Chains A and B, each alone.
Chain A
Amino acid sequence: MAAAEQPKTPDAPKRVRRRSADRRQELLGVAARLFASRGYYSVTVDDIGEALGLTGPALYKHFASKEALLVAVFDAVIAQQTERMHEVLAGASTPAEALPAIVRLHLDFAIEQRENMSVWRQEFHNLPEEDGWRLRRAQRLYVEEWVHVVHALEPGLSDAEVRAVVHGILGMLQSPSEFLSGLPTETLASLLSGMALAALKGAKPGEKPNEQKPAGRRKAAQTA
């Protein structure tokens, strides 16, 4: 990077700010890449700085700690996924068309973000409160896009039931991030997509506890 050769023009502060923002983005990109390839816990802040020839204060100016980098990676990943979701929804002309597309989108996301999801599971509760709060909110908004699509397809389900169905489907689609089957991606995608669509079609809330109805399906599901 060029040393202090900046001419004293009114432009200079803006250029410095832009370079600083670019640098921050670069660091974030490197961090994301190293976390994914080496595993979050094996990567040090120095490793990240080294990839860009940065050490000490030059690095910490942008991110106070490895955890701050992790939070920034989480922020960026959720934002990107939400944006992709919006694109997919914009490209679908009906909720029925949208569904298989968002299923595939979330599955691809789970496979791509395997390492980050694993770190999220372990570290989320350790994050500073305001970061946790912001990330939870972003997660909620993503889930609500799903709820909107599913609600249109299953108008007989209550809002809470739709949300539980969505949580179930998302949980299912995320299973590849916890279990490495070794199956080729397309086989896995085909299997899990089919399961997700079937799960949605097969979702039956059953009778409410205070309703007196013949048991039927519920009885059949009880343990012998």
Chain B
Amino acid sequence: MRKPTATRREELMTAGAKLFASRGYHSVGVEEIGRALGLTGPALYRHFPSKQALLVAVFDRVIERQLADVRKTVESAKGPDAALEALVAGHVDFALSERELLATWRQEFANLSADDSSRLRRMQRLYVEEWVHVLTSVRSDLCDDEARAVVHAAIALLQSPNEYNSGLQPEVLRALLSSMALAALHESHSPLTRALPIPIHPVPVERGAGGE
């Protein structure tokens, strides 16, 4: 059984994460988080030195959970192709359900202490390495550094909804992003794509069929 203090701490984190997601990290006051659990006064400070400390704890919890999931996926997958599909599926689910947290991460990461950002970065690296390990089994044309760049690009694609909102239904978005990521991950290293030279006499772009 968990000790009472650990439970309360977890509850505060969950309440905080929910409030940050709906109203944005900066708009949420410390008392509000306690109040969400029926606590009065700065109840938060009994468990966290600051709002930022709570945010960091939420980041820690989320990334630890992702790392554990990914390890389980890789260990139980029936081969690298299946592992890659499962990694993509796991990450798109994560990206869509933790959209606001990821947006907060992008904004606040630079404000964290050196210790906190270093620890979180390390976990991020370990997460990426699991992907790199799987991808290099699938793609013999890539060296490690190339595989890492490819993984970062695929992850950025899956996380694109946290910067832009297309308004698509989650199921459709999930299918779209997964199919795009898998296609991109499997694409073999193609020859250089050069930018078109700008002609002296520009030709208007032919507007395709089916205009607005």
Q: Which residues of A contact B (CB under 8 A)?
A: 87-95, 97-98, 100-101, 103-105, 108, 121-122, 125, 143, 148-149, 151-153, 155, 160-161, 163-165, 167-176, 178-179, 181-183, 186-209, 217-218, 220-224
Contact = CB atoms under 8 A, between A and B. Distances in A.
A95 B209 CA distance: 11
> Which of B106, B145, B182, B184 counts the most chain A CB atoms within 10 A?
B184
> Which of B148, B149, B183 counts the most chain A CB atoms within 10 A?
B149
A165 B176 contact: yes
Given A90-B204, A91-B203, A194-B190, A199 B149 contact: no
Given A91-B196, A171-B159, A221 B178 contact: yes
Contact of B205 (A93, A104, A122): A93
Interface in B152-171: 152-161, 163-164, 166-169, 171
A129 to B, nearest CB: 15
Contacts of A153: 208
B209 A155 contact: yes
Contacts of A92: 196, 203, 205
A198 B85 contact: no
A182 B175 contact: no
Contacts of A105: 195
Nearest to B150: A191
B179 interface: yes
B209 A195 contact: no
Contacts of B183: 198-199, 201-203
Contacts of A104: 193-195
Nearest to B82: A224
Nearest to A182: B145
B202 A90 contact: yes
A160 B157 contact: no
B191 interface: yes
A224 B73 contact: yes
B114 interface: no
B177 interface: yes
Contacts of B49: none
Contact of A164 (B155, B159, B176, B194): B176
B184 A198 contact: yes
Interface in B6-61: 24, 26
Contacts of B167: 160
A91 B206 contact: no
A223 B73 contact: yes
A75 B193 CA distance: 29
Given A88-B196, A223-B89, A199 B190 contact: no
Contacts of A143: 164
Given A90-B205, A222-B89, A183 B149 contact: yes
B140 to A, nearest CB: 15
A181 B194 contact: no
Contacts of A217: 175, 179
Contact of A95 (B172, B193, B205): B205
B166 A172 contact: no
Given A155-B210, A195-B187, 20 more contacts: A89-B205, A91-B197, A91-B199, A92-B196, A152-B210, A160-B167, A164-B166, A181-B152, A182-B145, A190-B189, A192-B153, A196-B184, A202-B183, A204-B176, A204-B179, A206-B175, A209-B169, A218-B175, A221-B175, A222-B89
